[in-house]
């Protein structure tokens, strides 16, 4: 847990160690505070002191409440990590808590090598998230300090929620099948596959021209009317890569995933960016 006046940690540590002396008590400190160095060297080092953003923990003096003999280790956490974790707890756990809670979780993750499987870890969250609405929970405040982790989606993220089965046609299948599938699924481009690989694309513009010229083309193989294959991206490719490819006039891009190919169009990006 975070250490400010040291009241929480010293009181709970005294009680818990009475019950079980093997319980480890780990204090979270800030950069800019004297606790960690004092615990480790016994020296009150003024050079450790400088302003910091994290709230509620760390000190520039030695509060009488801190019983250093009960605290096994101090872990320092940066302002940035504390702020990022404050939001992460709300987003990932649905627990709306304050900035020293963020520091405690960030510190706990830093200390992961101290724990072995089966250990029970208890983290104390000191206060509620409502006190930080204008700070850690405010994107502008976070951005101004360089704390905002911009989470741009990847091609794989953009595919989430889309139907898994890609509508396509085999190069050897007849054109009328391609037309039927495009109508049935209300799509205006259809990837053409051969041996599990994309080899071309049929678009409604190509079909229109081909059928105007010769209506019998319906009974020919799909490869006769196909244009170049759509580019294949990786699921981890960033939004910028997808956007650049689609911005170059391509109707869609394919994404090769473990369970097969997915397709992304401009509409998929517009729909995801809110
Ligand atoms: C938000 C917050 N977190 C942590 C602490 C640290 O608790 P303690 O002073 O018991 O060490 C405080 C202390 O006031 C606090 O306000």
Is residue 20 located within the same domain as residue 57?
Answer: yes
Answer whether residue 136 is part of any domain. yes
Instruction: Clarify whether residues 11 and 118 are in a common domain.
Output: yes
> Do 125 and 186 fall into the same domain?
no
123 and 189, same domain (yes or no): no
pLDDT tens by residue, 39-82 = 999 999 999 999 999 999 999 999 999 999 999 999 999 999 99
Residue 11 Cα: closest atom of ligand 1: 10
Residue nearest to atom 2 of ligand 1 (CA): 56
Q: Give yes or no for residue 57 CB within 6 A of ligand 1.
A: yes
- The angle, 0 to 180 degrees and rounded to 10, between the axes of the packed helices 99-110 and 79-88 is 100
- Residue 274's pLDDT is 55
Ligand 1 midpoint to CA 21 (Å)? 24
Tell me, using a 6 A CB cutoff, whether residue 6 lines ligand 1: yes
- The first and second tokens of residue 258, run together, are 């473990």
> Which of 117, 144, 171 finishes a domain?
144
Supply the CATH number for residue 30's domain.
3.40.50.1100
Regarding the beta carbon of 107 and ligand 1, being less than 6 Å apart is answered: no
Q: With CA atoms as reference, report the closest residue to 13 among 64, 70, 63.
A: 70
For residue 2, give the DSSP letter: B
CB 96 within 8 A of CB 128: yes
Statement to judge: residues 106 and 214 lie in one domain: no
Q: Is 73 helix (H, G, I), strand (E, B) or coil?
A: strand
Q: Is residue 2 part of a domain?
A: no
Per-residue pLDDT tens for 157-185?
899 877 768 999 999 999 999 999 999 99
Quickly list DSSP for 162-188.
S-SSPP-EETTSBHHHHHHHHHHHT-S
In this structure, are 112 and 230 located in the same domain? no
CATH number at residue 173: 3.10.580.10
Task: Based on the fold, state whether residues 167 and 268 are members of the same structural domain.
Answer: yes
Q: For residue 263, give both structure tokens.
A: 């397709």
CA of 77 to the centre of ligand 1 (A): 15
pLDDT of residue 141: 97
**Which residue positions in the chain have pLDDT lower than 70?**
164, 273-274
Residue nearest to atom 14 of ligand 1 (CA): 56
Together in a domain, 95 and 194: no
- Strands of the sheet containing 232-233, edge to edge, are 232-233, 252-257, 260-265
CA 131 to ligand 1: nearest atom: 1
Tell me how far the alpha carbon of residue 254 is from its chain's centroid.
23
Question: Same domain, yes or no, for 163 and 259?
Answer: yes
One domain, residues 79 and 175 = no
Question: Domain check: are 139 and 18 in the same one?
Answer: yes
Write out the residue range of the structural domain in which residue 13 sits. 7-144
28 in Cβ contact with 104 (< 8 Å): yes
pLDDT of 270 reads 83
Q: Does residue 75 sit in the same domain as residue 20? A: yes
Write down the pLDDT at residue 165. Answer: 81
4 lines ligand 1 (CB under 6 A): yes
Instruction: Say what the pLDDT of residue 251 is.
Output: 85
pLDDT at 128: 96
Count of the separate structural domains present in the chain: 2
């Amino acid at each position: 847990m975070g250490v400010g006046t040291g009241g929480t940690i010293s009181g709970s540590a005294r009680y818990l160690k009475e019950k079980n002396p093997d319980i480890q008590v780990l204090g979270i400190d800030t950069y800019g505070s004297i606790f960690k160095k004092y615990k480790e060297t016994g020296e009150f080092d003024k050079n450790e002191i400088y302003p910091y953003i994290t709230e509620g923990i760390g000190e520039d003096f030695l509060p009488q409440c801190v019983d250093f003999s009960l605290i096994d280790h101090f872990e320092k956490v940066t302002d940035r990590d504390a702020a990022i974790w404050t939001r992460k707890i709300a987003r990932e756990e649905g627990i709306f808590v304050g900035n020293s809670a963020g520091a405690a979780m960030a510190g706990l993750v830093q200390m992961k090598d101290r724990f072995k499987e089966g250990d029970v870890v208890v983290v104390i969250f000191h206060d509620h998230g409502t006190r930080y609405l204008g700070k850690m929970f405010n994107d502008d405040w976070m951005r101004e300090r360089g704390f905002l982790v911009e989470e741009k989606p990847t091609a794989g993220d953009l595919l989430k929620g889309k139907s898994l089965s890609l509508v396509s046609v085999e190069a050897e299948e007849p054109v009328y099948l391609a037309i039927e599938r495009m109508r049935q699924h209300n799509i205006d481009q259809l990837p053409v596959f051969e041996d599990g690989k994309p080899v071309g694309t049929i678009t409604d513009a190509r079909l229109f021209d081909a059928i105007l010229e010769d209506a019998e083309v319906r009974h020919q193989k799909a490869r006769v009317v196909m244009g170049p294959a759509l580019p294949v991206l990786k699921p981890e490719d960033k939004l910028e890569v997808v956007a650049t490819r689609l911005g170059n006039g391509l109707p869609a891009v394919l994404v090769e995933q473990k369970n097969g190919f997915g397709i992304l169009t401009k509409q998929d990006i517009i729909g995801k960016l809110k």
